[in-house]
Structure 1
């Protein structure tokens, strides 16, 4: 029996957050109190803003329904571990769709996890190998959570950085945004030593350290963090323009193709066209286009057309066609 009212309310809230209807008698049994006490506790939760719906009947029932705002979640140990492991797995491999909001959620969760649960999360993740890990390099989730915390808290971030040519340096930055391309994570930040905006590949970052020094965010050049990153990548590598026609609706192709490759435009005949710029090898782009599962034809560049033709021939020969 839980005699402490705050503790009992948290236990009641945890039960109600399971998507089902709870008979009043079952809640009373679980909490070790009377049905009258359950009704009083339900009223307290409503006063705190939790939308608890009651149903009529011989025993009565309660369920937590969607409200105007999301109240704080109450998780048991197993639920907290499961969510942390899932977020770590997605964040560590820059899975498409797992963006900065997911990393912020992971940072918040790990900040409040008791030491015993953090150990369980680390142990479980170390013993688990994902079948697929995305196209980019894997990243220590701790690196992302430290960065996300400094972005949210407007706190200066210091870290060691390894450039593409292997040159190492120490950076002191004002972090602005974390951006996922679906293959890699990047940090967009103001580099205080170089007095300019910079982008950093997170898989090349080590020893991230939140300094505790607060700052007022500077104004990023127009276009937002994602657009700034796109332009930065284009400046750092040779790119080529490509045009690909798909025999599928634009919304269907958009759901299968990374957004940073381009936005599908309807062609008026039930299909769509994707135009974009890429710095990736044509071999990778050819495979990525094929992974959409839709019929397509490459209009340009010539190198991509040639590689798609050669790839199709190799695949046909592999099955004796």
Structure 2
């Protein structure tokens, strides 16, 4: 089996279409078809079956794909390690991050890191809490920021960077907008704008409201921080957001208000795999982040 054949196979399997796979690979369809045929001849099995104009994996094809993707990840990772061993300050670092880190946290970290290591490149991947945890475990990425940090997990190592409070955010014309602080039960009769079902920030907000003795009336939902802020700004409802999402970025027509009870907070950390070694450039970045926040904590 040739490496080229395996990469062609994965592309066709994921797109379920020979022409689309060839276009994405920038090669002729006949070249892809030939390599797939050679691979099937060598293995002695049919990996695909034709369904209309599309191709579907056979059962053995599905099994083969599962293991080949892991093998290719290992090969790519090995090549990256060799390249970065030769020059770790010119590597590429893949980092996962949730949407709540976009406005302040991630830009602050990367801009400070680039001052010290200007030749290191980044491949940034945004995702949900569940996706990012899984991506670190299965090898899609090796470093991710998460908040709150996962509980003890046999597959990942967690380093807590800091903890942050949540604030209520209300429209500027709201009857509580002039308050300097509030208890969460003050919002029990309000319409809430929260993240969609499955997002960790929605879960945190709902659990906090339950601690305050009520279930929030969720009338609108969004899938990123800016959507939530925009809906609050439009007067659709109120929300609860973590502090770093509001640093230098409180939308017009809104007011952020500290919550005194119950204390709503989350830990924020950086996670890495337990059973895979970081590439040299990844190690540099990881240690930089740990040291960076350690210094910030000392100066608070």
TM-score, with length taken from structure 2: 0.28
Greater C-alpha radius of gyration: 1
Name which structure has the greater RCO, CA cutoff 8 Å, separation 6+.
Answer: 2
